[in-house]
């Protein structure tokens, strides 16, 4: 609170100075209407509200106001989306967000490879990358050290490729129009379905009121280190995907999702078929009792959220890889996945804690590894990332692997009135519950006498059934009610 008081005092002085000056440095953006109104009431010198519509506002805002937005209104992310000019900001007020694009029929079939991969996750490797990035001191998008960090990530990823000896993997640097900072993308070429894309991303920049001292360990060196560990494990096990698989480290998320927005726009204009996008932004601070929180904002894809739940119920329910999960909400412009959702791609964002309990040190000089925690928490996200990539992209038919289909002991049949369960191990259903993507339990039964569960009370949408038999085995089944 003491540091915050100092910051607010400095900001108040800066506002007085800005009032008499021109508006050099202001940018056009969109944000939630209620956030824009609150900022305008408190700091009218820093923001003009151009137009409001659909509970959003197009604004002309000074970047200093973004720190105030974070401190007093939001718990994460920039909370706004950058636009190059006034016209595009106004047009964005009418832009639908999210879920109109058809998504693949997500399935689980790669358990043999998944278990080998998650066994190999090493928290020390995640820590190593976090410290490398933190030691740049700042990665603010206009600071030269930001692009030094970009080059370092490129080198780290190229070293992993060199060790693998693979020629179907490549790294590229992406230049941007609205920031001097660059982004990094690693691509593993797909085989049977090369025109379908599975993507994991996170931002590489950092910010703080003192932009020269923004170590950004949790926000978001942790996400980039988590992704780097996913890459390392996949390449060490010679992962060859059916679908093209990409890993992205973005520029300038903290000033309005600039890097990811430009990349997502390019992919949309090129009509690339991104079947699933998952964001890793802050993975290392365990502020809540549960391990991983699925964000349920309206622009996230319910089907993809249920897929992540299915993965955790399958691979992380018990044993050495066990973890717990819960649900939370972020905000408009929360992180880079919003850029992809705006282009109609299915997105999900697993987060380190409930947003009310996430790291209080982000966007400060105290966002350092020694303060925000050890890398064991981030390792859980690397495991989920591996599960997601392997199951969504699928191992190529060119690989000589025999996958164990763990679901051969339970079969589910849905006729839109009843969910019929068939257990082939001669056991009986002990418990079964049906939940939606927001974690709400719609049906829950114990000692189900019949092999049929009445689902006629469910509204149209996607659900997941979680079944435990009398032997203690857990089975999951994602289904849709029309």
Q: How far apart are the first and last CA of the chain?
A: 51
Is the N-terminal amide bond of 144 cis, ω within 30° of 0?
no
The DSSP string of 192-217 is TEEEEEEEEEEE-----SSTTSB--I
Query: What is the band of 425 on the pLDDT scale with cuts at 50, 70, 90?
Result: low
Q: Which residue has the higher pLDDT, 437 or 75?
A: 437
Instruction: Report d(CA 396, CA 198) in Å as an integer.
Output: 14
Q: Is pLDDT of 3 > 60?
A: no
Decide if pLDDT at 36 tops 80.
yes
Write out the CATH class of domain 406-481: mainly beta
pLDDT at 49: 93
What would the pLDDT profile of 338-360 be if each residue is shown by its tens digit? 999 989 999 999 999 998 899 99
Spatial separation of the C-alpha atoms in residues 27 and 81, rounded to whole Å: 10
| % helix, strand, coil for the chain, step of 5 | 35, 25, 40
pLDDT of 415 above 50: yes
pLDDT, tens only, 271-318: 999 999 999 999 999 999 999 999 998 889 988 999 999 999 999 999
Q: What would the mean pLDDT of 91-108 be, rounded to a whole number?
A: 67
Average pLDDT of the chain? 87
Whole-number percent of the chain with pLDDT over 90? 60
| pLDDT tens digits along 155-192 | 999 999 999 999 999 999 999 999 999 999 999 999 99
Burial letters 1-31, b for 16+ CB under 10 A, else e:
eeeeeebeeebeeebeebeeeeeeebbbbbb
pLDDT of residue 291: 97
CB 197 within 8 A of CB 345: no
CATH superfamily name and code, 111-393: Zn peptidases (3.40.630.10)
> Residue 41 burial (CB < 10 Å; 0-12/13-18/19+)?
exposed
Q: pLDDT at position 9, please?
A: 46
Residues with catalytic annotation?
203, 219, 253-254, 281, 363
Listed by start position, the domains of the chain span 2-94, 111-393, 406-481
- Identify the burial level of 281 via C-beta atoms within 10 angstroms of its C-beta, where 0-12 means exposed, 13-18 middle and 19 or more buried: buried
CB contact at 8 A, 309 and 302: no
Distance CA 482, CA 480 (A): 6
Instruction: Report CA-CA distances (Å) from 133 to 120, 159, 205, 232.
Output: 23, 16, 10, 17
Partners of residue 413 on adjacent β-strands: 420
Residue 370 CB coordination number (10 Å): 10
CA dist 419 to 48, 144, 422, Å? 54, 58, 10
């Amino acid at each position: 609170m003491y540091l915050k008081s100092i910051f607010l005092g400095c900001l108040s002085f800066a506002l007085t100075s800005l009032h008499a000056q021109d508006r050099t440095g202001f940018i056009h953006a969109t944000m939630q209407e209620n956030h824009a109104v609150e900022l305008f009431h408190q700091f009218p010198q820093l923001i003009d509200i151009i137009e409001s519509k659909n509970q959003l506002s197009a604004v002309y805002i000074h970047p200093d106001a973004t720190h105030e937005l974070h401190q007093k209104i939001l718990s994460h992310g920039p909370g706004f989306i950058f636009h190059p000019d006034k016209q595009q900001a106004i047009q964005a007020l009418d832009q639908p967000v999210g879920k109109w694009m058809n998504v693949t029929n997500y399935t689980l079939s790669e358990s043999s490879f998944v278990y080998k991969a998650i066994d190999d996750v090493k928290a020390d490797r995640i820590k190593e990358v976090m410290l490398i990035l933190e030691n740049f001191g700042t990665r603010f998008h206009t600071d030269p050290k930001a692009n030094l960090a970009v080059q370092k990530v490129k080198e780290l990823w190229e070293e992993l490729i060199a060790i693998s000896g693979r020629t179907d993997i490549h790294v590229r640097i992406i230049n941007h129009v609205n920031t001097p900072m660059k982004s990094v993308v690693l691509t593993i070429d797909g085989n049977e379905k090369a025109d379908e894309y599975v993507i994991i991303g996170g931002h590489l920049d950092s910010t703080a009121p003192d932009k020269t001292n923004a170590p950004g360990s949790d926000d978001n060196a942790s996400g980039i280190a988590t992704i780097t560990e996913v890459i390392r494990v996949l390449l060490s096990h010679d992962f060859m995907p059916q679908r093209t698989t990409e890993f992205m480290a973005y520029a300038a998320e903290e000033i309005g999702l600039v890097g990811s927005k430009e990349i997502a726009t390019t992919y949309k204009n090129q009509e690339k078929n991104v079947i699933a996008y998952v964001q890793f932004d802050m993975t290392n601070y365990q502020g809540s009792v549960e391990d991983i929180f699925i964000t349920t904002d309206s622009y996230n894809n319910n089907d993809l959220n249920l897929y992540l739940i299915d993965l955790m119920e399958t691979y992380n329910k018990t044993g050495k890889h066990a973890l717990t999960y819960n649900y939370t909400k972020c905000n408009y412009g929360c992180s880079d996945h919003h850029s992809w959702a705006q282009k109609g791609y299915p997105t999900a964002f697993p987060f380190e804690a409930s947003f009310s309990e996430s790291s209080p040190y982000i966007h400060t000089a105290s966002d350092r590894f020694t303060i925000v925690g050890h890398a064991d928490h981030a390792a859980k996200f690397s495991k989920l990332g591996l599960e997601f990539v392997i199951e969504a992209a699928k191992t190529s038919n060119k690989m000589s692997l025999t996958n164990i289909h763990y679901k051969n002991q339970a079969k589910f049949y849905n006729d839109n009135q009843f969910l019929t369960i068939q257990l082939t191990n001669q056991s009986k259903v002990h418990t079964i519950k049906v939940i939606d993507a927001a974690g709400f339990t719609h049906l829950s039964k114990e000692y189900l006498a019949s092999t049929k569960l009445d689902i006629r009370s469910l509204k149209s949408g996607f659900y997941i059934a979680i079944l435990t038999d009398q032997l203690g085995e857990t089975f999951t089944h994602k289904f849709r009610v029309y």
